[in-house]
Amino acid sequence: MKLLVCAMETSSNIHLKELQKYLSCEVELLGIFDKSLGNPTYDVTSLAVMGFTDALKKLPFFLKLNTQMAQLASQADKVLLMDASGFNLPLAKKIKKRYPNKEIIYYILPQAWAWKKGRIPKIEAYCDTLCSILPFEKALYTQQDKIHYVGHPLLDEIVEYKNALEQSGKIVFMPGSRKTEIMNLMPIYKEVAQQIQDKTPVLVIPEKFDEAYIKKVYGDISNFEISRHAHQALAQADFAFVCSGTATLEAALIGTPFCLNYIAKKLDYFIGRKFVKLPFIGLANIFFEKMGKESIHEEFLQEDVTVENLLHEYHTMNQEKFFNDSKLLRKYLQHGSSKIVAKLIEK
């Protein structure tokens, strides 16, 4: 079976890597994904976009790429779309129009629950199999035969959870994987690390970054211990300062007390706040809100990302409550998703 894949996000490729473990050797991938997972038609590392303004600059390129992917669908038996709704929904529409009988599977669905709920009829019209990783998401859809709650991929990928609140003497800093995120947070993180003198500061850097890029983007990091393994670093940490994104849910599931920090470009933040009507941006907090419970961690955004605020949260957070909430979160998500999604793809 030839499977056309569109996995444009770093997190999507991590999930795709886990999914591959359950796909038979007869499944051949083509399309957009990380080159470490096979022989992509387009390597995802060259397609990174940061925010609305960056996306607008690259719009002509992505419009052309979308058309090329739709043409490539002629060579595939099935289509797997992952996240990136701004690209994948128009792609699904084109493919369904050209090849109405070709099955389109959407894994990591567009966040229609956060904004643009009007997209749900389009998702149902263009796609045949919907793989939801959020327990509350299924109820939003009308075609219940199409949508399946498959579990959450992080419960496949995380292999070590905290069983007790033990002190290791390490504090983790995770400034994200995108250049702007890193450059915005690193000056603050460096000062916070200096102020917590009784702990070893550990800086998590994505494996894909080479030394030249690290020196250019992170600056002087000689005072940090470096880790290339986020889950391992989080499992060993007493506390973490984490940029918004998948890493916040990873920390919450592992059981490492943390706070979320995010500084976006002012225009991106304005647009995001105008259209996304949610009380939180961290997924763990969103889950807890859906369960009718208090937030599990603090969120510091834009001007609130200060050395003083981060240090105050570090010193005053109720870690015992967080630890118990972490176990509740794992129970809420139930199980991993990769094996179930693989079965849906190959059925």
Grouped pLDDT means (10 residues each) for the chain, 347 residues = 93 93 95 92 67 61 92 97 93 97 96 80 97 94 96 95 88 93 96 96 93 95 96 96 93 97 72 62 92 95 96 96 95 97 96
Find the length of the chain: 347
- Helix ranges (H only) for 132-265 are 154-157, 179-195, 211-218, 230-235, 246-254
φ/ψ (deg, to 5) at 128: -100, -35
Q: What's the whole-model pTM score?
A: 0.86
**In this structure, what token pair is assigned to residue 324?**
């118990």
Which numeric CATH code is attached to 170-333? 3.40.50.2000
SS3 249: helix
CATH match for 2-149 among 1.20.1440.230, 3.40.50.2000, 3.40.630.30, 3.90.870.10: 3.40.50.2000
Confidence (pLDDT) at 52: 47
- Rounded Cα distance between 337 and 108, Å, is 10
- Rounded Cα distance between 61 and 216, Å, is 26
Q: Which residues contact 296 (CB under 8 A, 6 or more apart)?
A: 252, 284, 285, 288, 322, 325, 326, 329
Residues of the chain with CATH 3.40.50.2000: 2-149, 170-333
Confidence (pLDDT) at 165: 80
- Residue carrying structure tokens 């200096």: 194
Question: Half-sphere exposure (CA, 13 Å, Cβ side) for 155?
Answer: 19
Q: Which residues contact 198 (CB under 8 A, 6 or more apart)?
A: 169
SS3 203: strand
**In this structure, what token pair is assigned to residue 251?**
């920390």
12 contacts 108 by C-beta, under 8 angstroms: yes
- Rounded Cα distance between 247 and 175, Å, is 10
Q: Which residues contact 312 (CB under 8 A, 6 or more apart)?
A: none
Confidence (pLDDT) at 88: 95
Confidence (pLDDT) at 233: 97
18 contacts 7 by C-beta, under 8 angstroms: no
Confidence (pLDDT) at 42: 86
- DSSP annotation of 7 reads E
Dihedral sign, Cα of residue 307, residue 327, residue 206, residue 34: negative
**Exposed/middle/buried for 51, CB within 10 Å: 0-12, 13-18, 19+?**
middle
